[in-house]
Structure 1
């Protein structure tokens, strides 16, 4: 019997192979079009004299960003396509997979700044003068991505007191930007999806009504009653103030008029109904049918967080390299970029704020038997729902009695 470790040092037949390249077939370099890709680094400093070594790193890094932006846009568009109509819930797995891919790409992009920062500010100064008026603000793909995800146009910080679209002059770019603004964003599609969360209907489980009662009971038990029983007047006043702050906070979501005013002020993104759906999923995430929706919500927040980290790292790098110098495109540089690291650029802001309104588990309203069945995997798989359009649903294997209360199911 031959020794199984015979070829451990590369000796013997394990190093033998067959060249399977057939004449005329596509090979690695051709498939990836490396002749175009690797020749696309044209150093501006080389045109004026001796090429500056670190400009090559600068170009490669930004080209890598743009390639990854292209991939993220591809993933976002595919997710938006799946959200464009109500589909079977099995598609949530594909959506989660693609959102997770976006998260991993963004983590890579956040870390990529470390490579660019191996270049010193003095190194950058050697070729920076050759870049003007080119600027990262002119990245078409980054603007398309922001729009497709759902950044509100009214929340954008103006660039040199002008609309961001004004830096794009060619018709294809302008048309692409206008289309990205006018087509449903991922935020809008998620909003529609959340508003169909089962259990929100008032003539059935009525989650929102039950949640309001539960929240009021918790505030009364944990804040109001202890405050009233407090003998020390100073501590009592402090506890009453704390109770009123919590009460006002919850009133901002239970009072629909207050909620709508917050939307108008730009403090909220989701509709009142969609916010209710997000709250219900967060509170009942342990129910089988809410496992994937809760993962989806978490991934959307991850994407928002990573975009904020990307902006922050960008700001810090610009300050490190340029200080308070103006940007090559004519912007205020660091000052402008710093203004974009704020909640006004958060897309799924409301999902982050859900934790403000969480209540202790033992106060969460119990699901009725019928609602419990609806949120179980067994019930979900037995319905065999076939969606015909946004407002109609053909059902089989559901009793006539349940049909009276069944709404368009919680489907992507």
Structure 2
């Protein structure tokens, strides 16, 4: 028989309700009294309530909570990279990097919620913000530093970014720590430098890769010289020379070092070699997860750039291109300047496609190398040479 007077006849719904002895309640566990009571509307305190100020505060508080989670995940990833990396931990790194990527996607989309506020609505309470500014977000600065944004690559407007925290001893200590500790970029580079197969006495991928590039360029040069139209022929030959110069920029360490000195490259020569090898052999089981890591690192860089871009467009919509920001910066002009590659910490990964060659030219892995990859990835002896003989370390990578 049905129970018309009840929503449910489930016996599980009819017992005594959980009391305090069963543990904390939902609101207590999440401390919702503090979280939901943390919205202080200055327009209300000044007896001129502005409806959209509430949205502005809640949205930015949500940003800060997500920044905190990203930092939490990134610190854990940095901790794993800094230790001897076991194969099982690679999957954990992938999971946490993917979590950061998904959070950043939320942050990118969250800008659209703020854009439901019109410029006139924002103008109603904007003066209450001064001199508060997103430039003063400590967590975002820590996030940038831990990721690998360098001080020399930051855009300066009228002061060092640390100056806004000058009176906050705790903030300054956190910033100094984030600048001095190895960033995620530093740790990823060290990890890439240990890619197996780069050793001269082993597979010597780099030597084989150079030979393959030379074969490719020579074949394309022969085809270009057969072109009957002189203008087309010269165009192809000129393009080949430019491509040869690009390849030489990675084959010659001194050229790569010069590009690093100019800020055009960030990775060390050895790290770039490792990234290229992983990209070529990503279908090999041992390189599959490392390649996914590199892809997720680029996703993080891309999404932060997208978030900056969406933020720039929103600021232009709200205050135009010439008004100063509430914190004293040039507002839109300053924010637009942060969209360049100088803020991408994994810019070298984006440029890996510059050095790709068709699959048929990629040096095939030797049987020794395939066996080596099945046993070990990156284990080194005390002298730093490849060590594939130690059975006790076959599932580890430094």
TM superposition score normalised by structure 2? 0.93
For 2:8 and 2:338, how far apart are their aligned partners in 1? Answer: 59
How much is the aligned-residue C-alpha RMSD, in angstroms? 2.5
1:333 corresponds in structure 2 to 331
Contact 1:269 1:347 in 2 (8 A): yes
2:85–2:396 contact (8 Å) kept in structure 1: no
Deviation by residue 1:318-372 (Cα, 9 ceiling, x = unmatched): 0011102110001000000000001000010100100111100000001111101
Using the TM superposition, give the Cα deviation of residue 11 of structure 1 relative to its aligned residue in structure 2, in angstroms. 3.9
Say which of 256, 275, 278 aligns to 2:275: 278
Q: Which residue number corresponds to residue 234 of structure 1?
A: 231
1:112 is paired with a residue whose SS is helix
d(CA) in 1 for partners of 2:8, 2:115: 44
Q: How is 1:8-407 mapped onto 2 (pairs within 5 angstroms)?
A: 10-13=7-10, 15-23=13-21, 25-160=23-158, 162-169=159-166, 170-222=168-220, 224-324=221-321, 325-376=323-374, 379-380=375-376, 396-397=390-391
Alpha-carbon distance in structure 1 between the residues aligned to 2:349 and 2:391: 35
CA distance in 2, matches of 1:275, 1:62: 38
Q: 2:380, 2:355 → 1: CA distance?
A: 34
Q: Is the 8 A contact 2:278 2:291 kept in 1?
A: yes
Query: CA shift at 1:386, angstroms?
Result: 8.8
Distance 2:348 2:119 in 1: 39
Question: TM-score, normalized by length of structure 1?
Answer: 0.90
Write out the 4+ residue segments of structure 1 that deviate beyond 3 Å after TM superposition.
Answer: 14-18, 385-398
Q: Is the 1:198–1:409 contact (alpha carbons within 8 Å) kept by the matching residues of 2? A: no
Does 2:397 align with 1:411? yes
Shift of 1:90: 1.4
Residue segments in structure 1 that go unaligned for 5+ positions in a row: 399-405
- Tell me by how many angstroms 1:21 deviates: 2.5
Please state how far the C-alpha of 1:396 moved relative to its aligned partner: 4.0
Distance 1:386 1:245, change over 3 A: closer
Q: Residue in 2 aligned with 1:403?
A: none
Q: 1:233 to 1:395 in 2, by over 3 A?
A: closer
Aligned residue for 2:315, secondary structure, equals helix
Change (3 A) 1:354 1:409: farther
Equivalent pair of 1:198/1:410 in contact (CA under 8 Å) = no
